[in-house]
């Protein structure tokens, strides 16, 4: 079996922070090597970025169409394509990559509409290709510990879920200053239907779904645009009803001054509860009915095997964002190897976020926008 893959990156040039994050996360485990790229929508910047990253000039492409066409003809073609471009380009790039027979790892939100996402999902299935979405927060070991505890019934029947994802970097009109990352996120043509909802709200929805595996039944959303002149939401509050009676409260906001990337998850069942905070990502607080709170620590003696295989360093050494992100790629790479070689998927591959979750994330955005416009509860369909 081929255990070290090669990949091409589309988007994520040297001036794009998210591209550096993806490359560092992939490199952390030495499971894949960057060998080709179309790293910018501008040809000159794309070639310059490829040169700065040390790519072979023969595999430094001016645009993604050229990359996919020429790589598909090479005997040493890349094993997969990582797409880290703005939201409006996800669908056409991923569609063309799948049509050329490449496995795809796609940044979130997967597409600008659930119809597009379903098309990619069906296309990948029809060609027996892996298509994963980088919901990177599901890569934290203690998030995977939380998932295992919910699934094995430790907390009993789930009653209530709270997910808060708060940032403050868009508390002012940063887009009007020409700030690159703020500008495209504030543009509906490029960002899609959701502002904060699409940027971080879809992460929040996916975290709840990943950990609890609850199926949404209906939702009611309130979307705000607090900064004057801003078209898309910068603040979202969503109430979600789940099949079986559980209730969720999700807030995603980018106008919370003082918050850099504050994520908290709290789940309450009829037998116990758990709490997780990204700022203390190596710990999971669990409280059983009538008992004292216990803190499970990454690398500790009682953690689930899913948390163990998702850890990179020995106990006592904190892990964080990059290690969690690398777990997403570890899972995707294992899934690609299993698909290529016809072998059983590893547990990491089974934990990878596939395109069906990407479709659900986009549908979540659509339903929230519909609910806010109608000021009404919307059934999930």
Reported as a single tens digit per residue, the pLDDT across 135-171 is 999 999 999 999 999 999 999 999 999 999 999 999 9
- Considering the entire predicted model, what is its pTM? 0.96
Helices (H) and strands (E) in the chain, counts: 14, 14
Which pLDDT does position 98 carry in this prediction?
98
Whole-number pLDDT of residue 179: 92
- Provide the pLDDT for residue 14: 87
Say how far apart CA 246 and CA 236 lie, in whole Å. 20
Q: Which CATH number fits domain 5-137+326-353: 3.30.70.890, 3.40.50.720, 3.40.50.2300, 1.20.210.10?
A: 3.40.50.720
CATH architecture of the domain with range 141-315+360-379: 2-Layer Sandwich (3.30)
> Given a cut of 80, is residue 2 above it in pLDDT?
no
Please give the pLDDT value at position 263: 98
With 70 as the cut, is the pLDDT of residue 16 above it? yes
Dist CA 250 CA 208 (whole Å): 9
* Domain residue ranges in the chain: 5-137+326-353, 141-315+360-379
Burial class of 374 by CB neighbour count within 10 A (0 to 12, 13 to 18, 19+): exposed
Average pLDDT of the residues in 297-313: 95
Confidence of residue 289 (pLDDT cuts 50, 70, 90): very high
Q: What band does 3 get if pLDDT is binned at 50, 70 and 90?
A: confident
Identify any residues that bridge with 165 across adjacent strands, giving them in sequence order: 252, 263
Check pLDDT > 90 for residue 310.
yes
Residue 94 has pLDDT above 90, yes or no: yes
Residue-wise pLDDT tens digits, 316-353? 899 999 999 999 999 999 999 999 999 999 999 999 99
pLDDT at 1 over 80: no
> CA-to-CA distance for 201 and 249, rounded, in angstroms?
12
Q: What distance lies between CA 24 and its chain's CA centroid? A: 16
**What average pLDDT does this structure show over 280-308?**
96
Residue owning tokens 């995603």: 252
Average pLDDT of every residue of the chain: 96
SS3 assignment, position 235 = strand
Q: Of 65, 68, 134, which is closest to residue 101 (Cα–Cα)?
A: 68
Q: Which residues contact 62 (CB under 8 A, 6 or more apart)?
A: 38, 43, 46, 47
- The secondary element (H helix, E strand) that includes residue 47 is helix 43-52
Please give the pLDDT value at position 380.
96
Q: What is the pLDDT of residues 349-375, one digit of tens each?
A: 999 999 999 999 999 999 999 999 999
Read off the tokens for 26: 């992939």
Report the percentage of the chain scoring pLDDT > 90. Answer: 94
Return the pLDDT at 15: 84
Residue located via tokens 């409260």? 249
């Amino acid at each position: 079996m081929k255990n070290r893959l090669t990949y091409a990156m589309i988007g994520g040039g040297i001036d794009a922070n998210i591209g550096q994050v993806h490359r560092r996360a992939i490199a952390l485990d030495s499971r894949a090597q960057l060998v080709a790229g179309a790293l910018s929508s501008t040809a000159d910047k794309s070639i310059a970025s490829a040169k700065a990253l040390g790519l072979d000039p023969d595999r430094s492409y001016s645009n993604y169409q050229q990359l996919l066409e020429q790589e598909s003809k090479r005997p040493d073609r890349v094993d997969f394509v990582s797409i880290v471009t703005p939201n409006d380009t996800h669908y056409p790039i991923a569609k063309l990559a799948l049509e050329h027979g490449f496995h795809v790892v796609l940044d979130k939100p997967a597409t600008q509409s659930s119809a597009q996402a379903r098309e990619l999902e069906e296309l990948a299935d029809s060609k027996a290709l892996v298509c994963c979405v980088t919901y990177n927060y599901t890569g934290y070991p203690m998030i995977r510990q939380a998932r295992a505890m919910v699934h094995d019934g430790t907390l009993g029947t789930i009653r209530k879920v709270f997910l808060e994802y708060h940032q403050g970097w868009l508390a002012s009109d940063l887009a009007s200053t020409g700030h690159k990352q703020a500008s495209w996120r504030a543009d509906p043509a490029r960002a899609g239907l959701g502002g904060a909802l699409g940027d971080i709200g879809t992460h929040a929805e996916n975290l709840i779904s990943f950990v609890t595996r609850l199926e949404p039944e209906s939702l009611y959303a309130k979307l705000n645009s607090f900064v004057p002149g801003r078209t898309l939401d910068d603040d979202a509050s969503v109430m979600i009803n789940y099949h079986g009676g559980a209730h969720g409260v999700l807030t995603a906001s980018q106008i919370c001054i003082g918050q850099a990337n504050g994520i908290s998850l709290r789940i309450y069942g009829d037998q116990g509860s758990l709490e997780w905070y990204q700022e203390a990502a190596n710990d999971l607080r669990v409280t059983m009915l009538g008992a004292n709170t216990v803190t499970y620590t990454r690398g500790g003696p009682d953690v689930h095997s899913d948390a163990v295989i998702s850890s990179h360093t020995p106990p006592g050494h904190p892990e964080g964002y990059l290690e969690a992100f690398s777990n997403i790629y570890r899972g995707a790479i294992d899934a690609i190897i299993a698909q290529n070689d016809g072998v059983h998927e590893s547990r990491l591959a089974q934990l990878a976020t596939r395109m069906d979750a990407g479709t659900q994330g986009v549908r979540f955005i659509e339903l929230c926008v519909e609910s806010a416009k109608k000021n009404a509860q919307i059934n999930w369909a």
